Amino acid sequence: MEMMKIADHKRFQTNGHDFVFVTQTGGIFEIDGETRAVLNLGLAGKSFTKQEFYAVLKGTRSNKDSLWKDLAGNRVLAAQKLSQGKPMLQKPEFPVKTLVLHVTESCNLMCHYCYHSPKELIKAPQLSMELTVAKKAVDFLFDQSGGLEEVVLVFFGGEPLLNLNLISKTITYANEKARKTGKTIDYAMTTNGTLLTDKAIGFLNENRIGTTVSLDGVEAVHDRFRRFPDGSPSYNVILPKLKKFLDKENPKPVVARVTLAKDSNNISKTLFHLLDLGFSEVGFAPVTTMDTDFKLDSHQMTALLDQFQDLSEIFIDLARKDEFLGFTNLVDLLVNLHEGDVKQYPCGAGIGMFSVDPKGGLFLCQRLTKDASANMGNIFDGLNREKLGQFRQNARLNKKSACKGCWAASICAGGCYHEAKIREGDLLLPNLHYCQWIKAWIETGLNVYGRLMNETPEFLDKLSMLRGHEPLFNQLV
């Protein structure tokens, strides 16, 4: 007889409503008194048969049958043999969807907290990608994309606009490749904004390049660490160019990326300043470093969480009025929850995404470019299948013993590889230094999700569609 168990779950309450988040499936359900009673029976971690389960329930046989059916249908009751999370496709290959090109290592800024050491940038010769390498990279992307209909090419640096001529020729080549293969290609770029000339702005819009601009907030905050090599500030150089860019009817959303360094205060002020400039969204990321001159300490991380929670309340207030707040950190979390994403890997690095250095080396992601442990071959000889296979095997969530039994593991899957390399010493280790913070932030996201689910579920659909997903709730109407 089949043995069952109560699936791993996280219970939470919002505004008097009880919910359960089922970690194995990513499902989120509001629960009634009967389900609450079942979860209070103390069966967690135990195996039982249907008959044993019925024996501890109250009510008629019909009521028990109905409850069993509902709990099993929502996977709150699960077969004992159920594996952790949705299984990844066990194929020898994963199609590559996204390729990040480091079109140049040079940068006209020298940000103090850059994960490429400023001293390193001064001493080492800075390479720029040549067209032969770029074309070969495009060939690699299309060749490795399998049956995917859409692929993405990202231009990165250094400062990619320093090599605009190469980017232009690469796009011409990639567009022709897409035409011949019947695929669609999208483009993206991350820039520091200092080189947003009229020519560059026209080019970005003409080619529908989704653009992320690194900007840390108001002038005084931005200029603390984002300066030119001679020490001069960059904010007032960027601002007039940025305004001209954002004043255009951009075919793709322009988003801001904020690096939070030591003593970063008033996140709300930064968010609304950047949104007022015309950015569609703003995302925040604590700087990845062990340098105490820049790293946020535990007190500052706690303060950051408090500010994120305050912004989440503003987000809900606006959502009730069907208004959108471009707070990327919360939007991404809500979309993940809404789509029921269950992760075995923290991101697409080494799965559907790779990064290419100026010489053609293939790396797990843009932040790990130049890291030998993250090198997976090159575009000329192809992927190092043995090394990549070992990475994919060892990077899986079930290999991270410290994450076993954690209700949040299916959402974060241990966290960023680059963060782990810097803070934990090994890119395959989970980000234990952020563990409690991440769980507290996910709990905030669950709280927001539950409230929106009750008050304005169609808004959650709109967020998912914003990220390119099909609606869920609206399909039931």
Paired residues of 285 in beta bridges? 259
Q: Which two tokens stand for residue 100?
A: 């990040």
Rg (CA), the chain: 24
Whole-angstrom CA distances from 89 to 148, 318, 360, 436 are: 15, 39, 28, 30
Cβ pair 72, 38 in contact under 8 A: no
What's the pTM? Answer: 0.92
Q: Which amino acid is at 83?
A: S
Cβ pair 302, 346 in contact under 8 A: no
* Of the candidates 34, 186, 98, 57, the residue with the CA atom closest to the CA atom of residue 365: 98
Q: Which amino acid is at 207?
A: N
Q: How far is 93 from 289, CA to CA, in rounded Å?
A: 33
Taken in order 41, 439, 423, 367, the sign of the CA dihedral is: positive
* Of the candidates 373, 372, 289, the residue with the CA atom closest to the CA atom of residue 116: 289
Q: How far is 330 from 15, CA to CA, in rounded Å?
A: 19
Q: How far is 434 from 286, CA to CA, in rounded Å?
A: 11
Buried b (16+ CB within 10 A) or exposed e, 370-381: beeebbbbbbee
* Of the candidates 432, 435, 422, the residue with the CA atom closest to the CA atom of residue 374: 422
Q: How far is 457 from 114, CA to CA, in rounded Å?
A: 40
How much of the chain is in helix, strand and coil states, percent to nearest 5?
Answer: 45, 15, 40
Q: How far is 101 from 365, CA to CA, in rounded Å?
A: 10
DSSP at 327: B
Residue carrying structure tokens 């001209």: 244
Max CA distance (Å), the chain: 80
Q: Which two tokens stand for residue 17?
A: 């409503």
* Of the candidates 344, 357, 330, the residue with the CA atom closest to the CA atom of residue 467: 330
Whole-angstrom CA distances from 288 to 190, 294, 322, 356 are: 18, 9, 35, 21
Q: How far is 89 from 78, CA to CA, in rounded Å?
A: 21
Cβ pair 430, 402 in contact under 8 A: yes
The residues, any chain, with a CB within 8 Å of residue 215's CB and separated by 6 or more, are 193, 222, 238, 242, 256, 257, 258, 274
Per-residue tens of pLDDT for the chain, all 477 residues: 678 888 889 999 999 999 999 998 999 999 988 888 888 887 777 888 888 888 888 889 998 899 888 888 888 888 875 444 444 444 446 899 999 999 999 999 999 999 765 555 555 678 999 999 999 999 999 999 999 999 999 999 999 999 999 999 999 999 999 999 999 999 999 999 999 999 999 999 999 999 999 999 999 999 999 999 999 999 999 999 999 999 999 999 999 999 999 999 899 999 999 999 999 999 999 999 999 999 999 999 999 999 999 999 999 999 999 999 999 999 999 999 999 999 999 999 999 999 999 999 999 999 999 999 999 999 999 999 999 999 999 999 999 999 998 999 999 999 999 999 999 999 999 999 999 999 999 999 999 999 999 999 999 999 999 998 866 544 332
Q: How far is 185 from 97, CA to CA, in rounded Å?
A: 10
The residues, any chain, with a CB within 8 Å of residue 384's CB and separated by 6 or more, are 375, 376, 377
Whole-angstrom CA distances from 472 to 24, 445, 455, 458 are: 19, 18, 16, 9
Provide the edge-to-edge strand list for the sheet that holds 9-14: 9-14, 17-22, 27-30
DSSP at 149: S
Q: How far is 286 from 293, CA to CA, in rounded Å?
A: 13
Q: What is the pLDDT of residue 475?
A: 36
Paired residues of 362 in beta bridges? 356
Q: Which two tokens stand for residue 150?
A: 């859409």
The residues, any chain, with a CB within 8 Å of residue 468's CB and separated by 6 or more, are none
